[in-house]
Structure 1
Amino acid sequence: MLSLTDCLDFIDLDGDTIDVIAQHERLPAMLATQLGNQLLADLRGIWQLHLMHRALIDEAARRKRLGDEKELRRIYAAFSRKYPVPRRM
């Protein structure tokens, strides 16, 4: 049986982004890993990942959870460097 660490070794997302997917979609980490892998397959999926990050940042800001917002912005910046917002879909 594969562990979460094993699955992360096979995809091109870090654990922080998997946590964002899990939190946004309310999924266990293993399912979030599978979903993240599928979303990376095309530009629409990458766009959806950007929207997930932004939604959690907005929610943290709205709830005035400044520490969470700062951490989510750090995670999103790293994700955006690796996967810029798609120009065309």
Structure 2
Amino acid sequence: MRTDCSIEFTLVEFGRYCADEGVERHLMAPYSPQQNGVVERCNQTVVGMAWSMLKAKKMLAEFWREAVNTAVFIFNRATTKSLKGMTPFEA
């Protein structure tokens, strides 16, 4: 897992959870999105999907949170070339 050095990702409890679950962590330098291009691109895709859903149905920005949740749900279940036909959820 790649994360920035935000407080929630550097807590001892979070580190212990990752170790218990076998999750390999990589902390990126703060304020350097260039180091985490894959995640930044995914975020850009999710934001675009959310805005598209809101605009297509002429919904108010107050539904932003639900639109993002829905976009992430769809994104995690769509196949990708980089995962050779698997979804991020399956990987």
Shorter-chain TM-score above 0.5: no
In the superposition, the TM-score normalised over structure 2's length comes to 0.30
In the superposition, the TM-score normalised over structure 1's length comes to 0.30
The structure number with the bigger radius of gyration is 2
Which structure: greater helix fraction? 1
Which structure: greater strand fraction? 2
